Amino acid sequence: MSSDSTTASTAAFVEQLLARMTLEQKVGQMLQPERMAITPDEVARHHIGSVLSGGGSAPGANLPADWIAMNDAYWAASMRDEPGRVPIPLLYGVDAVHGHGNVLGATIFPHNIGLGAARDPDLIERIAQITAREVLATGVEWTFAPTLAVARHLYWGRTYESFSEDTALVASYAAPFVRGMQGDLGEDSVIACAKHWVGDGGTTDGRDQGNTVLPESELERVHMAPYLPALEAGVLTVMASFNSWNGVKCHGNRYLITEVLKERLGFDGFVVSDWDGVDYLSDDPAEALAIATNAGIDMFMVSVKWRQYLDLLLQHVRTGVVPMSRIDDAVRRILSVKHRYGLFDRPRPAERKWSQVSCLGAPEHRAVAREAVRKSLVLLQNEGEILPLSRSARILVAGKNADNRGHQCGGFTVAWQGTSGNQSVIGGTSIWEGIREVAPGAVLSEDGSAADAAAHDVAIVVIGETPYAEGMGDIRPPGLAPLGSSPAGQPAQLSPYGETLELRLLHPEDLAVIRAIEAKGIPVVAVLVSGRPLIIDTELQHTAAFVAAWLPGSEGQGVADVLFGDFPFTGVLPFSWPRIATRWPSGYGL
Ligand code: GLC
């Protein structure tokens, strides 16, 4: 974290490299285009420092071999040793935020909200270690995780990416995650990225990319605090946040990025922008890029307009709008991270240790994910101690989320907005498949129409939300304009998930199934698959037992492990649970 963590050898290596680099080569290192917008040959010609996969952006058939081939080609291009080039290995980044979610067959862990319910920092470290191996098995070196958001408003579509509303709980996970992911920065390690700096979980009414209105003391106490253990653990990158703080966009806030994060807190890795986050600083791209660069952003995650950024940055340096010292500082940080990670000494992706191992979805990985599911479950109601269930009971399983691995994984799984059905989440078990394993006599009837009191002792009804990500998951009360990050306030046209947290209004189909089964005299055990607490007072009145399962990921079997008593309920709510549909002082939030 402090300058002495950048050993003298790294500093010396970086200086000699920097001295050999032209301005074009330096500026190229500061760009991170999306894979669909740049070829390996363009990476070589323009000295590009990094490439990313956005959510769901995958090569070929989206199998490890396709990823390794892609990364090998980008790496080789970045290492071309020819006149006018300085070979500098490229970093490939991806959102492995609950396992290597983009890739078919990967182990998908519960999203962070469920891990928050587990209250288990050691588990977090093990999950990060496993995720690192599955990321390395695809030739990727960098993940945009952990999310250290402290979500303070359940309207936010990214609530599930937050471990908790409680700062201390989020902070307790930061260092274990970084340790698990970055390890000793050796061949089993992946570069981590603490995000999003800062205050992403505190926006008014939980609007994604909105405005966090707080005095600095509160911003520090609630939202900055989890970064301290991450920095102490040596996190190598930090991602700037889309939100504003007191009306100023974080991407253009020199005080937050340079004075606080880099100077006061001593962060000596590099800061990466979020997806085109610079665009929202001004309607004039040149002005926006100048503001962001001078604010302290070191690398630009620029989905497609990387050529424009290249030209503008060169122009800004040549006209003095951006001092050369800022460019050198950014490139020093990027090269230093690459050197500390050992990237200059690693073989090409195709020849690395984990590229030879097909560890994606390995049984021992899935076993840890299943353990995480068990530990994430929170028992909200258990009338007459109906739980745990007997394996010999005559069980009906119903609900739209019962046999749907896509739904139980949520966003950032194979696709940015997640998927539906079982076919795209290869491996793992749906909640129904897990129940059937334990109680072979169980019957699946998604709409509950097969319910028959003469044939069924109890019904397990799996209900809740369907997948979403970011602003598409926002709950926006009528009349609240969608905010988004547009510069002059033009609303980002993201359609919200709904207008209320009341499940009976958001998904009336769930209560309908519950009541139809209850009307036949069969007791109902409800299992809620959701990215956040929802208002379920009506559903509670019509169910005997109620379990919060959050977004359990690929190992739905973990739910059956607890429903049938092989393991106890140990999960504890990571968020306050709303009881009534009235606006809290600041909306449905703290
Ligand atoms: C998204 C998210 C960020 C993610 C990035 C790359 O917009 O805000 O968390 O890492 O883009 O997919």
Determine the pLDDT at residue 580. 73
Query: Binning pLDDT at 50, 70 and 90, where does residue 492 land?
Result: low
Determine the pLDDT at residue 579. 85
Determine the pLDDT at residue 5. 53
Q: With the C-alpha atoms ordered 391, 397, 400, 403, is the resulting torsion angle positive or negative?
A: positive
Rounded to whole angstroms, how far apart are CA atoms 378 and 532?
Answer: 12
Q: With the C-alpha atoms ordered 419, 144, 130, 139, is the resulting torsion angle positive or negative?
A: positive
Burial class (CB in 10 A: 0-12, 13-18, 19+), 389: buried
Domain boundaries, the chain: 364-563
Query: Binning pLDDT at 50, 70 and 90, where does residue 493 land?
Result: low
270 and 337 in contact (C-beta within 8 Å)?
Answer: yes
* 7-30 per-position pLDDT tens digit: 899 999 999 999 999 999 999 999
Report the pLDDT averaged over residues 324-341.
98
Q: Which residues line ligand 1 (CB under 6 A)?
A: 54-55, 95, 144, 195, 274-275
Query: Binning pLDDT at 50, 70 and 90, where does residue 476 land?
Result: confident
Indicate which atom in ligand 1 lies nearest the CA of residue 242.
8
Report the pLDDT averaged over residues 96-117.
98
> Whole-number mean pLDDT of the chain?
95
Rounded to whole angstroms, how far apart are CA atoms 228 and 241?
Answer: 17
Q: Say yes or no to pLDDT of 407 above 60.
A: yes
Mutate to test the pocket of ligand 1, among 191, 275, 413 (most ligand atoms within 8 A of CB): 275
Helix (H) or strand (E) holding 254: helix 254-254
Q: Which of 268, 279, 403, 470 is catalytic?
A: 470
**Hey, whose CA ends up nearest to atom 3 of ligand 1?**
274
* 190-233 per-position pLDDT tens digit: 999 999 999 999 999 899 999 999 999 999 999 999 999 999 99
Query: Binning pLDDT at 50, 70 and 90, where does residue 478 land?
Result: confident
Query: Binning pLDDT at 50, 70 and 90, where does residue 2 land?
Result: very low
Mutate to test the pocket of ligand 1, among 144, 156, 209 (most ligand atoms within 8 A of CB): 144
470 is catalytic: yes
Cα atoms in the 13 Å half-sphere on the side-chain side of 110: 36
Report the pLDDT averaged over residues 182-194.
97
Rounded to whole angstroms, how far apart are CA atoms 183 and 190?
Answer: 8
DSSP 524: E
CB atoms within 10 A of CB 234: 17
Q: pTM of the entire structure? A: 0.96
Determine the pLDDT at residue 479. 67
Question: Could you report how far apart the first and last alpha carbons of the chain are, in Å?
Answer: 32
Third-level CATH fold of 364-563: Rossmann fold (3.40.50)
* 335-374 per-position pLDDT tens digit: 999 999 999 999 999 999 999 888 999 999 999 999 999 9
* 551-589 per-position pLDDT tens digit: 999 999 999 999 999 999 999 999 999 987 655 434 444
Report the pLDDT averaged over residues 44-57.
97
Burial class (CB in 10 A: 0-12, 13-18, 19+), 356: exposed
Rounded to whole angstroms, how far apart are CA atoms 209 and 201?
Answer: 9
How do beta strands 248-249 and 244-245 pair?
antiparallel
CB atoms within 10 A of CB 121: 18
Indicate which atom in ligand 1 lies nearest the CA of residue 195.
9
274 is catalytic: yes
**Hey, whose CA ends up nearest to atom 10 of ligand 1?**
144
